[in-house]
Amino acid sequence: MGTIYWEDMHVKDPALYAVLIGVSNYPYASNGKAAVAETHGIRQLAAPANTVKDIADWLIKNKDNLFLPLKSIHLLASPSSLEVIEDKSNSLKQLVPATLKNVQSTLIDWRKASSLSPENGTIFYFGGHGIQQSRGDSILLLEDFLGQDSENILENAVNVSNIYNGMANFESIPNLPKTQVYFIDACRADLINLGKFEAYQPSSVFKIEVGGTDDRTAPIFFASAAGHETYSIIGQKTFFGRDLLDCLDGAAGDKIALLNGKRGWYVTVGTLAEAMSKLVNYHNANSPLGRACPRSLNIDKLNSLSSEQSICELGKVPSVRCYLNFDPDEAAKCASVKFDSPNLNLAERMDGPFENPFLCSKPAGIYAIDAVVPATMKPKLRDLPEELVNVRGPFFNYALSFHS
């Protein structure tokens, strides 16, 4: 059974080749069907497999709007029992499990297929358990982690650096894609008692040739900074995967002129990095979960060229969640707020009372905002003069202070 989830044989290079890997089920970890005596704190998950399936379906749905025509998706998933039960399509359990052998063979096939032209592009996404062995690295734990016959505890794991460096041009493979994007949706925390196994190394996927020039546009989005953990909504999506899909659907969209002169609403690597950072910061500052389980985000290999790299084009002007914060609270009961955007041919005046904060939705763009209060509330409260604002995703927070 192959790992190709979707393929369009009619698409010719240059094209986009994707690999998505999601591991929720760890049979040899805590509460697994074949749990070993020492599980090192590794437990079952209930979101990564479902997340990569949703990302695969998003790519297929938007295949004509990506930065290159979508050629193929390799998908490996080891779903939890909860994900299988809640999968109405009954497709998760049909996918190839993300074992070491399957991951190695899939990535080798992926590299071979994408290496036919440097103008091709690739996407790599991994969701599941991850650890750091030395500060700053990222080791991905596969379904059969802890199930190895040897004493090497990391045998059924792979290092992100081996995958990343193995996709750089070599003398023997000179035409690997120059545009690559990596998403690592895994923890980078320390494994309990890992010091006992510091001499062990994860399995290699690629043989790495030394030397050479690496001129790729190839950023890596890590869902966690070194030493941190990731989180998910059990049985649904990981927070990182949810934010990524939200951003690709428009929350990271902006009106941009690309380097080739084409202009429109796009999600680029740069706008994606900015929007996902804002979502993480908002979660940490405003969510009860943010205080108990603070999230992090680390983006590596980001440079000026990669920031400008388009990921997808949006078919329409994105809608933006707008939060209006009234100060003082009594202003929310009587104020009138106007959003005026001549470029969008949109002018709307909204009259209170409002909830505070008040949530509304507006098309992204430049607006003139003003607010007034009834004469009976003056001079205790004042009108707000017109101000130009840029309403863009992932959300727009605006404070209205009516103090005299």
Q: How confident is the model at residue 269 (pLDDT cuts 50, 70, 90)?
A: very high
247 and 391 co-located in one domain = no
247 and 383 co-located in one domain = no
Q: What is the mean pLDDT of the chain?
A: 92
Q: CA 264, 237, 274: angle at the middle one, nearest 5?
A: 40
Give pLDDT, residue 171: 83
User: Helix (H, G, I), strand (E, B), or coil: what is residue 317?
Assistant: coil
Give pLDDT, residue 234: 82
What percent of the chain clears pLDDT 70, i.e. is strictly above it?
A: 98
Q: How many CB atoms lie within 10 A of CB 394?
A: 22
Give pLDDT, residue 88: 86
The CATH code of the domain that includes 339 is 2.60.40
24 and 159 co-located in one domain = yes
What is the tens place of the pLDDT at every residue in 85-133?
A: 998 888 998 999 999 999 999 999 999 999 999 999 999 999 999 998 8
Give pLDDT, residue 138: 92
Residue 343 has pLDDT above 90, yes or no: no
Which one is predicted more confidently, 151 or 399?
A: 399
Single out the residue in 255, 290, 313 at which a domain terminates. Answer: 313
Which one is predicted more confidently, 290 or 112?
A: 112
376 and 239 co-located in one domain = no
What is the tens place of the pLDDT at every residue in 69-87?
A: 999 999 999 999 999 999 8
Which one is predicted more confidently, 41 or 202?
A: 202
Structural domain count, the chain: 2
Give me the domain span that covers residue 250.
Answer: 4-313
253 and 397 co-located in one domain = no
112 and 28 co-located in one domain = yes
Give pLDDT, residue 196: 62
Single out the residue in 313, 340, 359 at which a domain terminates. Answer: 313
230 and 377 co-located in one domain = no
The CATH code of the domain that includes 297 is 3.40.50.1460
* CA R_g for the chain: 24
328 and 288 co-located in one domain = no
Residue 247 has pLDDT above 60, yes or no: yes
Residue 1 has pLDDT above 60, yes or no: no
Q: Where are the alpha helices (DSSP H) in 20-171?
A: 48-61, 81-86, 100-114, 160-166
Helix axes 239-246, 48-61, angle to 10 degrees: 10
Single out the residue in 289, 313, 337 at which a domain terminates. Answer: 313
Q: Is the pTM of this model over 0.85?
A: yes
251 and 307 co-located in one domain = yes
